[in-house]
C-alpha cells in the first residue's frame, strides 16, 4: 500500500499541508469538491484501487477534511463529503502560517456580470416535503439576482410543518408552498440539478442540456419522528443546507465572473 511522503515534518507546518500534500489525497478532495460520492465512484474518478482509496479517505476523515454518512438508499454504501467550512479554516491557517498578513486578506467579491442571465437550479428529494423545499427557499433568499431555484420530489408528500418553522426562523414566509412532482420539470432547462437524498439520485432523469449533476447526501429530517427529535433534525438539516448553499452560490458567482456561464 502506498504511503504519504516520508519527509520529516517541519515545526509548525500546517495540518492542511501535511494531509493534502499527498497527490492522491488531493485528487480525492478535488473529486469531492462538487458532489458527495461513494467509494466506488471515487475509485473511478482517481483511477486507483479501493483499498488504497479507503486508506487515504480515512486519513482525510481523521483530519476533519472529509465526512461520511451511510446511504439512505442502500445502507451498505457510504457517501463521503468535503467539509467546506473546515477546509476554509485550514486554508486560512495555512496562509497565516506562511505570512501573518495573509490571514487578514479577504477574498475578493465576485461582481454580478451585467447582461448575464440568472442561473436556474433544481433541488430534488423523494417527498419534496422538507429538504428540497428548504433548499429552494434558502437559495432564493440568498441568491438575489444571481439565480432562481425550484424544487420537486419523485414521490411528493405534503409539506412538513417543521419545514415552515425552520424557514420562518430564517425570515422566509412559507405561505403557498406546495410539493411538486419531478415530472413537472422533466423538460426544463437547468444550470444545476442538485439531488439531496440518495434514493432520488438513483432515479434522477437526464435533463435537457445535460447539466452536470450535484449530489448532497442529506438525511430525511422527517424520519426523526415528532417532538424534540424532529425539531433538532430539521434544525440540523437547515443548518447544513445553509452552509452548502452559501458555497454553491460562491461557486456560481466565481463561474459567472470567469465567463463560463452564459
Which domains, from first to last, does the chain contain? Answer: 15-104 (1.10.10.10), 119-258 (3.40.50.2300)
Q: How far apart are CA 248 and CA 156, in angstroms?
A: 25
State the DSSP H helix or E strand holding residue 94, giving kind and residue range, or none if neither. helix 84-98
- What positions carry a catalytic annotation? 125, 197, 204
Instruction: Mark 144-159 as b/e (b = at least 16 C-beta within 10 Å).
Output: eebbebbbbbbebeeb
pTM of the model: 0.85
Contact (CB, 8 A) for 103 and 183: no
Q: How far apart are CA 219 and CA 100, in angstroms?
A: 40
Task: Output the tens digit of pLDDT for each of the chain's 262 residues.
Answer: 444 444 445 556 788 888 888 999 999 999 999 899 999 999 999 999 999 999 999 999 999 999 999 998 888 899 999 999 998 888 888 888 888 777 665 555 545 555 568 899 999 999 999 999 999 999 999 998 899 999 999 999 999 999 999 999 999 998 889 999 999 998 889 999 999 999 999 989 889 988 878 999 999 999 888 888 999 999 999 999 999 999 999 888 877 544 444 3
Amino acid at each position: 500500500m502506498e504511503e504519504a511522503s516520508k519527509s520529516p515534518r517541519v515545526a509548525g507546518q500546517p495540518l492542511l499541508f501535511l494531509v493534502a500534500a499527498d497527490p492522491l489525497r488531493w485528487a480525492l478532495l478535488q473529486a469531492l469538491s462538487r458532489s458527495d460520492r461513494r467509494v466506488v465512484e471515487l475509485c473511478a474518478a482517481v483511477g486507483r484501487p479501493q483499498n488504497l482509496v479507503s486508506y487515504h479517505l480515512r486519513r482525510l476523515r481523521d483530519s476533519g477534511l472529509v465526512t461520511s454518512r451511510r446511504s439512505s438508499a442502500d445502507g451498505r454504501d457510504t457517501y463521503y463529503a468535503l467539509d467546506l467550512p473546515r477546509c476554509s479554516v485550514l486554508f486560512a491557517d495555512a496562509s497565516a502560517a506562511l505570512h501573518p498578513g495573509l490571514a487578514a486578506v479577504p477574498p475578493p467579491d465576485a461582481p454580478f456580470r451585467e447582461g448575464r442571465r440568472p442561473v436556474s437550479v433544481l433541488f430534488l428529494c423523494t417527498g419534496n416535503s422538507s429538504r428540497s423545499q428548504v433548499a429552494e427557499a434558502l437559495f432564493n433568499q440568498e441568491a438575489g439576482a444571481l439565480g432562481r431555484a425550484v424544487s420537486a420530489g419523485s414521490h411528493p408528500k405534503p409539506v412538513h410543518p417543521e419545514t415552515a418553522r425552520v424557514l420562518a426562523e430564517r425570515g422566509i414566509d412559507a405561505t403557498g408552498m406546495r410539493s411538486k412532482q419531478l415530472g413537472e420539470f422533466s423538460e426544463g432547462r437547468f444550470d444545476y440539478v442538485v439531488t439531496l437524498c440518495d434514493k432520488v439520485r438513483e432515479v434522477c432523469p437526464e435533463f435537457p442540456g445535460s447539466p452536470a449533476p450535484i449530489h448532497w447526501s442529506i438525511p430525511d429530517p422527517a424520519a426523526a419522528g415528532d417532538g424534540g427529535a424532529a425539531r433538532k433534525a430539521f434544525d440540523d438539516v437547515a443548518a447544513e443546507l445553509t452552509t452548502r448553499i452559501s458555497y454553491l452560490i460562491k461557486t456560481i458567482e466565481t463561474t459567472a465572473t470567469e465567463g463560463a456561464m452564459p
